Structure 1
Amino acid sequence: MSTNTTDLCLLSARDLAAAVRSRTVSAREVLDAHFARIDAVNPAVNAVVTQVREEAYAAAARADERTAVTPADELPPLHGVPMTHKDTHATAGIRTTLGSPVFAEHVPDHDDLIVARFRAAGVISTGKNNVPEFAAGSHSFNELFGTTHNPYDRTRSAGGSSGGAAAAIASRIQPLGDGSDMGGSLRNPAAFCNITGFRPSAGVVPSTPAGNAWAWLGRSGPLARSVDDLALAMSVLAGPDPRIPLACPADRAGFRALAAEAPADPDARPLAGVRIGLSTDFGLGVPVEPGIVEVLRDQARVFEELGAVVEEAVPDLRDADEVFDTTRAFDMAGNLRTVVAEHRELVKPEIVWNVEKGLALTAEQLMDAALARTRLHEAVRAFFDRWDVLLTPTSQVLPFPSEERWPRTVAGMPMQTYVEWMRSASLISATGCPAVSVPGGFTGGGLPVGLQLVAAHGRDVELLRTARAYDRATRHAEIAPRI
C-alpha cells in the first residue's frame, strides 16, 4: 500500500486500522495524512474547530510503540485511527465548548462514555468538530466558530447537530465520528453529507455522564462512510454502563459478529424474506420535497432486487408529535434551565424558546404524553409484528442555504418552529426504535439524499444487516465531494 496522504484518507476505518496493525503504515503517518487533509479542506468546510496536534502525535508515538511489541490480533479494533470528536461530547484535556460562548474556554477533566470507548478501542483523538449551540437544531452554526458548510455544495448546510462530524467524514478528514441524536442529529447530517448515521435503541450506547439517568429520547451513536464501519464502531461502543439504568437490548457480541461477516455473494439476494414497509409521508401528510420522494421511490427498487418485499405501509404515528414535543421540551428544560437563567443574553433564541416551553409544561401535559407514548408503542409493536423494516426519507428537505437558520417552508408548507422541518426524523425518535440513515444517491442537481431505515426496539443488528446489504449494492458514499 502507498502511504500517499490522499490514499490513506480514502480508506475505511476497518482498512486503516488493519494497515496500522499490519505495520504497512505507522500511526504517525496516518496522523500526518489526517492533519494534511484538515489543512487542505477545513478552510472551505469549517468542520474542525479545535485541534490538539502535539497531544495527538504523542498518542500516535505510543500507538507505534505498542504495535512494535504486540501481535496484530491483540491490538484494539481501531488502533491508530484518528478522530475529531463532537464538540458537545466531553473530552478530557481538550476544549469542549458545546458551541456556546458560555463554555468558550471549558476544558473537561473526563471523557463522555462514547469518547472513552472509542479511545479504549485505539482511536487517537485529534480535536473537536463543529455543532449548533448545545446541539439544538439540525444546522451546525454558532457564535464561536461560525457555520459548517456542506462538502458537496459549500453554499449549503451540512446538517446538525453532528454536522461537523458528518462534513469531516464526507471530506475524507476521518473515516468515523461520534455523534448524538434527539430529533435527527445523527441522521440528518448523514443524509445531507452522503454518509451513514446510526441512532441505536435506548441503552445500547449509554449517554454518560447524565443529568437524568432515565432520559430515553436522546441517543449516542456513530457516523461513517459505510454501514460496514458503523458495525465496526458499534462493536466497540455497545454495552451497558452501571450509571445508566436502561437495559441494553443489543450487546457488543452481536455487532462484533456482524462486523466479522464475510461479504455476501454478489449474485445472492441477501434481503430475501425481508419485509419492508415504505412511506413517503409517514401516514400523516408530512411534507417532503419532491426530489427526495423521487430518489426514495427509485431506490426502493434496489431493495426489491436484493430480495426484499417492499409495499406501502407505515405504523400509526398520530401520537408521535405529542410524545416528541413534550419529551424534548422536558429534557431541554432539565438540561439547560440553569444556563438560560444565568446567561440568557448569550444563548440563541431557539434554545430559550424550547427551555421556556419545558418549564411551562403542566402535570396534565406530562400525563397525556405518557399515555400517548404507550399508544404509540402499541402501534409500532403491531407494525413490526408484520414488517421487519420501515423505509422513509431521512430528511424532508435537501441541504438548504447555509445562511438560513432553519427552513421556513417545506414543499410549500410553512414551518412554525426550528424543529418542525425535522419531523421525518423526530417522529421516529418518538417511537424509541433504532434508525439508520444511508446514502440514497443524488438529485439531478447533485445534492445528496438519505434513506431512513427503522426496525423494532432491540433489532439493531438486524437493521444494520439490512442497511449494509443496500449500502454494499449501491456504494453511493464512494462518490466523494470536490473540495
Structure 2
Amino acid sequence: MSDLTVDSTARAQAAAVAARDISARELLDLHLERIGERNPELNAIVSLDEERARAGARAADEALARGEEVGALHGLPFAVKDTHAAAGWRTTYGSPLFADHVPDQDDLLVERVRQAGVVLIGKTNVPEFAAGSHTFNRVFGTTLNPVDPARSAGGSSGGAACALAAGMVPLADGSDMGGSLRNPASFCGVVGLRPSLGRVPDWPTDNYWETTATGGPLARNVGDLALLLSVMAGPDPRVPTALGDPGLVFAPPVTGELAGLRVAVAPDLGGQLEVDHEVAEIVGRAAGVLAGAGATVDGQYPDLGEADDTFRTLRAWLFWSGFGPLLAEHPDDLKQSLADNIRAGEHLTGADVARAYAQRTALSERMRLFFADHDLLVLPTAQVPPFPADQEYPTEINGRAMPDYLDWMRACYLITVTGCPAISVPFGRTADGLPVGVQLVAPFGQDRFLLEVAAGLEEALA
C-alpha cells in the first residue's frame, strides 16, 4: 500500500489511485477507520452506508483495471451535504419532515462529482433546511468542532467542514447564502469558497434568476479546492444563468503571487461590522503579511450600507416563497428561528422586493468601482471565534447584543449581495487555539485570480 494517509492532499490521493499506487478500496478503508475514530464524537457524517461505499470503491477499482478513462476525483471517498439531493441516498435537509426522504434524482452538483468518479459514503450534517451558521437538527443532533468539540463547527456546511478538517473525507461540497461555505471553513480551519454568481450552476431549481445562494467547494488547501471547483463549475444547458467558462480553467495547480497587488484590509469594514476584538486583531495582521510579500496595502473599504436590508429582504422573500406552504401545513414542526425567518417574508410587498433588487444592483456597481483601485478586499470571515455548541448563535459581540441568529454573520452576508467571489482561508488562532479565517473578496468573475491570491497567502503563512 502507498504511504498516503487520510491527511494527504486530495490531489495526491487522486493521483495515487489513478496510478494504482493505492486502490480505491484501500483508500476507503483508511477513511472509514478515521470516521470510526472521530465521527462518533463529532457527528459530521450522517446516513453513512459502508456497504454501498465498499461496492462503489470496488467498482472504481474495476474500472481502472479495465483501462477505462476516469474522472478527476476517481476513487476519492465523498460525503454529500444533506441539503443536496443524491439519487438513492437518504436526504433529510435536517428536517424531521424529510427524515425518510430518498430522492430519485441528483442535484447537478452531485451529478458532476459522481461523474468525476467519487465514491459516495454518506451525507454531511446540516442545520434544518440549511438555515443558520450552527449545525444542529432534530434528526441527527449537533455537529461539533474538530479542534474543540465543545464548540460549534459553524454552518450550514458544518458537517462538511468538520469531516474535512478531521480527515474523514479529502474534499467536501457545500452551499452558501449568508456564509454557509465561508463560516464553517473559518470555524474548522479549512478553505471555503463562495464562487461568483453563476460559476457553480444549480439544477433543479424553482427560480433560475434568484442567485443569492450558490453551491461551492471546501478543501484543506487552496490547490485541492481548485481541483473540486474544476468539477463543480462550468455551463449547463439546463441553467441559463451559468457562466460560460469551462470548469477545466480551475484544474491546473494554483501558485499565487502577492507582489504588486493593491489590497484593502478592513477588519471591521470601517465600523460597519461588530467584530470580536481578538478576531479583529488577528485579521489586522493580514496587512503586515501582505505588505511583507510585496503588496500595497491600505485601510479603505466599500460602503455596504444597504447590504443588510437587501440581504434580509431577499432572504425573507425566498424563505416565504420556498417554505411558506410547508410552514402553513406544519406550523409546529420547524425550528423557531427558521419559522420566524419565513414569517418575516409574509407581508413583504412588491415594492420591498424591488427596493432590495435596486439596492443589490447599486452594491454591485459600487464594488465594481471599488475594484477599479483595488485588486482585493480583506475582512473577517466570522465576526467571532467558534462559540459554545450548546448555543444556537452568539447573543453578543464585545458586549453588544445580537438581536437574532443572522446579525453575527454580517461579515459574510454583506458580501453575498454584491455577487463577488469570496474565500475563507485559515489565518490564525485565538489564545484558546480556536481557528480564525480571513475572507478574501475579488471582483465578480475573477475566481481563478482569487484562488491564486489565496494560494499566495497560504504560501506566505507556511
Q: TM-score range by the shorter chain?
A: over 0.9
Query: 1:88-135: per-residue Cα shift (whole Å, max 9, x none)?
Result: 010111100000000000001111111111111111110011100000
Query: 1:4-52: per-residue Cα shift (whole Å, max 9, x none)?
Result: xxx4211111000011111111000011111111111001111011112
Q: 412, 420, 430: which is aligned to 1:433?
A: 420
- Which amino acid in the other structure matches residue 90 of structure 1? A
The answer to whether the 8 Å contact 2:311/2:413 transfers is yes
SS, match of residue 150 in structure 1: coil
Equivalent-residue separation in structure 2 for 1:423 and 1:101 (angstroms): 29
Q: Does residue 1:296 correspond to 2:283, yes or no?
A: yes
**Number of the residue aligned with 1:320:** 307
Q: 94, 104, 129: which is aligned to 2:99?
A: 104
**Number of the residue aligned with 2:14:** 17
Query: 1:263-302: per-residue Cα shift (whole Å, max 9, x none)?
Result: 57xxxxx212211111111234311001111111223322
**Number of the residue aligned with 2:167:** 172
Q: Does residue 1:39 correspond to 2:26, yes or no?
A: no
Q: 62, 65, 70: which is aligned to 2:67?
A: 70
SS, match of residue 120 in structure 2: strand
- TM-score normalised by L of structure 1: 0.93
The answer to whether the 8 Å contact 1:250/1:461 transfers is no
The answer to whether the 8 Å contact 2:164/2:171 transfers is yes
Percent of aligned positions with the same letter in both sequences? 49
Q: 39, 48, 52: which is aligned to 1:51?
A: 48
Q: 268, 273, 291: which is aligned to 1:281?
A: 268
Query: 1:190-237: per-residue Cα shift (whole Å, max 9, x none)?
Result: 000000000001111012111212111001001000000111111111
Q: What residue ranges of structure 2 are gaps of 5+ in the alignment?
A: none
Equivalent-residue separation in structure 1 for 2:286 and 2:373 (angstroms): 22
SS, match of residue 230 in structure 2: helix
- TM-score normalised by L of structure 2: 0.97
Query: 1:365-406: per-residue Cα shift (whole Å, max 9, x none)?
Result: 112212212221221111011111100000001100000011
Equivalent-residue separation in structure 2 for 1:432 and 1:298 (angstroms): 26
The answer to whether the 8 Å contact 1:141/1:147 transfers is yes
- 421-430 or 358-367: bigger deviation: 358-367
The answer to whether the 8 Å contact 1:250/1:458 transfers is no
Equivalent-residue separation in structure 2 for 1:22 and 1:106 (angstroms): 38
SS, match of residue 99 in structure 1: coil
The answer to whether the 8 Å contact 2:109/2:215 transfers is yes
Aligned Cα root-mean-square deviation (Å): 1.4
Q: Does residue 1:29 correspond to 2:16, yes or no?
A: no
Write out aligned runs for 1:324-363 (5 A).
Answer: 324-363=311-350
Equivalent-residue separation in structure 1 for 2:271 and 2:308 (angstroms): 10
The answer to whether the 8 Å contact 1:9/1:33 transfers is yes
SS, match of residue 157 in structure 1: coil
Query: 1:419-466: per-residue Cα shift (whole Å, max 9, x none)?
Result: 111000000001111100000021121000010000111011101110
**Number of the residue aligned with 2:186:** 191
Write out aligned runs for 1:91-240 (5 A).
Answer: 91-240=86-235
Q: 346, 370, 374: which is aligned to 1:387?
A: 374
1:350, distance to aligned residue in structure 2 (A): 1.1
Write out aligned runs for 1:364-375 (5 A).
Answer: 364-375=351-362
**Number of the residue aligned with 2:430:** 443
Distance 1:247 1:42, change over 3 A: closer
The answer to whether the 8 Å contact 1:213/1:243 transfers is no
Give every structure 1 segment of 4 or more consecutive aligned residues whose post-TM-superposition deviation is greater than 4 Å: none
Query: 1:27-79: per-residue Cα shift (whole Å, max 9, x none)?
Result: 000111111111110011110111121111111111111112327xx431111
- Which amino acid in the other structure matches residue 227 of structure 1? V
Equivalent-residue separation in structure 2 for 1:458 and 1:165 (angstroms): 25
- Which amino acid in the other structure matches residue 116 of structure 2? A
The answer to whether the 8 Å contact 2:236/2:242 transfers is no
User: How many matched pairs?
Assistant: 462
Distance 1:145 1:413, change over 3 A: same
Equivalent-residue separation in structure 1 for 2:269 and 2:148 (angstroms): 29
1:339, distance to aligned residue in structure 2 (A): 1.4
- Which amino acid in the other structure matches residue 426 of structure 1? Y
